[in-house]
């Protein structure tokens, strides 16, 4: 494996963000189209919760069939999970753009919603971040118009089959005492409780009366998240486990191997993937690619944009192809709804997703983290252990039929 760049930095979420995934775990290796009720049926059955900000609409529509175990000698599907940090719509049209892209390619995504994107700045005194001043936040509060747009898109995303996770609230990074890196399990509990309140009490906090409720019980739906800048996972996990979460996507610097569990939760790290034109690998997130191209500036020289776009697209595609042709490890991609460097990273993600979703590949599954977790939990632990033993870019000895025949 190539040397790791010093600029494989943490995925910063300085603006609104969202998450991609794709349905199709189906029965077993994921060869079904999924099933579920239509939006109208779901809305008709919705039962308001609390102040009516959310509602229990029953089972989520457009979910894959119940996963089955791999048969002996069966080739595992290639899972790809696109996720977005923040999940806010700030008028740039990126949230609906990628919802449409997912729909066009039968994809499900994970949107890690920042709780503060449901809280008006006029009510910021309600936020009491650990180790920070009341109302403090390293990401901006949204305008009323953008809060409404965010809520509408989150609602539609869930109805379309996507997962709504959490990116917590104030996005405090760095090494200072205020950073999430230094939060205790109890402080993470406070942060999660507040994120839950902001999402489930947006009607009370905003006074909006012209929006439909979010059609899910967030306390039941929320089973995983990603911390700001990929910091603080060690102290988050005890709290996440206590809450019954099933996975965490906060690990930095992972590699393309089958995931394992940490403290009882599936650990889904961003991964080192090939970086065309470079001798090192890059972390599978738009911000980390940016950090290697424009040195953390979000507005580099426009003359470089075409070349940088090609590099970013190539990184995602090379990462996918390496896994698909060898160990079939899932590919995890993280992004933000941002127009950094002229929007080239949004274009790169779109082109990569289109390439990956090629209909000629019948064994590729574009899924959410929750859907992938369902598939993993359905497998024989002995089979999962064998998969976990494959290294980066390592093909199974004797082919899949031989490798998994006795598992």
- The answer to whether residue 313 scores a pLDDT higher than 90 is yes
- The answer to whether residue 11 scores a pLDDT higher than 90 is no
Average pLDDT (176-199) is 97
- The answer to whether residue 43 scores a pLDDT higher than 90 is no
At 297, the pLDDT band (50, 70, 90 cuts) reads very high
Per-residue model confidence (pLDDT) at position 16 = 27
The stretches of 296-343 forming alpha helices (DSSP H) are: 305-324
At 6, the pLDDT band (50, 70, 90 cuts) reads very low
CATH superfamily of 17-403: Glycoside hydrolase/deacetylase (3.20.20.370)
Average pLDDT (325-343) is 98
Per-residue model confidence (pLDDT) at position 253 = 81
- The answer to whether residue 15 scores a pLDDT higher than 50 is no
- The answer to whether residue 320 scores a pLDDT higher than 70 is yes
At 7, the pLDDT band (50, 70, 90 cuts) reads very low
Per-residue model confidence (pLDDT) at position 359 = 86
At 393, the pLDDT band (50, 70, 90 cuts) reads very high
Per-residue model confidence (pLDDT) at position 161 = 98
Which own/partner pairs from 353-362 qualify as long-range (CB within 8 Å, at least 24 positions apart)?
353/20, 353/82, 353/101, 353/105, 353/107, 354/101, 354/105, 355/317, 355/320, 356/80, 356/316, 356/317, 356/320, 357/22, 357/105, 357/106, 357/107, 361/78, 361/324, 362/31
- Concatenating the DSSP letter of every residue in 168-223 gives -SS---SSSTTSGGG--HHHHHHHHHHHHHHHHTHHHHH---SSPPBSS-HHHH--
Other Cβ atoms closer than 10 A to 191: 26
Average pLDDT (315-323) is 98
46 alpha-carbon distance from chain centroid: 26
Q: What's phi and psi for 147, nearest 5 deg? A: -65, -45
At 41, the pLDDT band (50, 70, 90 cuts) reads low
Measured distance CA(50)–CA(96) in Å, rounded: 28
Residues 117-127 have pLDDT tens digits of 999 999 999 99
Contact 220, 69 (CB under 8 A): no
Distant-in-sequence, close-in-space partners of 176: CB < 8 Å, separation ≥ 6: none
Per-chain mean pLDDT for the chain: 91
Per-residue model confidence (pLDDT) at position 386 = 97
């Amino acid at each position: 494996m190539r040397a790791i760049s010093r600029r494989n930095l943490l995925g910063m979420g300085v603006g609104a963000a969202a998450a991609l995934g794709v349905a199709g775990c189906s029965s077993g290796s994921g060869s079904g189209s999924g099933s579920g009720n239509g939006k109208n049926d779901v809305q008709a059955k919705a039962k308001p919760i609390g102040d009516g900000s959310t509602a229990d609409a029953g089972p989520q529509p457009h979910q894959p069939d119940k996963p089955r175990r791999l048969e002996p000698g069966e080739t595992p599907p290639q899972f790809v999970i696109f996720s977005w940090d923040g999940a806010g719509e700030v008028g740039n049209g990126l949230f609906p753009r990628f919802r449409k892209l997912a729909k066009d390619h039968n994809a499900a995504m994970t949107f890690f919603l920042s709780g503060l994107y449901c809280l008006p700045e006029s009510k910021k005194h309600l936020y009491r971040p650990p180790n920070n001043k009341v109302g403090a936040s390293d990401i901006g509060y949204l305008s009323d118009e953008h809060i409404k747009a965010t809520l509408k898109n989150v609602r539609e995303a869930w109805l379309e089959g996507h997962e709504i996770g959490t990116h917590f609230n104030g996005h405090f990074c760095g090494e200072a005492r205020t950073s999430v890196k230094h939060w205790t399990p109890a402080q993470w509990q406070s942060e999660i409780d507040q994120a839950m309140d902001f999402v489930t009490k947006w009607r009370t906090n905003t006074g909006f009366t012209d929006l439909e409720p979010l059609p899910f019980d967030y306390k039941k739906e929320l089973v995983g998240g990603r911390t700001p800048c990929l910091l603080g996972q060690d102290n988050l996990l005890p709290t996440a486990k206590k809450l019954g979460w099933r996975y965490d996507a906060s690990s930095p610097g992972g590699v393309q191997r089958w995931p394992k569990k940490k403290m009882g939760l599936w650990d889904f790290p961003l991964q080192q993937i090939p970086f065309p034109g470079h001798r090192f690998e890059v972390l599978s997130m738009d911000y980390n690619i940016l950090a290697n191209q424009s040195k953390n500036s979000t507005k580099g020289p426009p003359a470089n944009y075409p070349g940088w776009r090609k590099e970013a697209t190539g990184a995602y595609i090379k990462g996918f192809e390496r896994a698909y042709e060898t160990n079939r490890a899932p590919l995890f991609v993280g992004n933000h709804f941002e127009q950094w460097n002229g929007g080239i990273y949004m274009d790169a993600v779109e082109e990569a997703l289109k390439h990956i979703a090629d209909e000629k590949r019948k064994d590729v599954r574009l899924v959410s983290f929750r859907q992938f977790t369902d598939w993993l939990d359905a497998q024989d632990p002995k089979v999962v252990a064998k998969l976990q033993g494959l290294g980066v870019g390592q093909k199974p000895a004797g082919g899949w039929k031989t490798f998994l025949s006795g598992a």
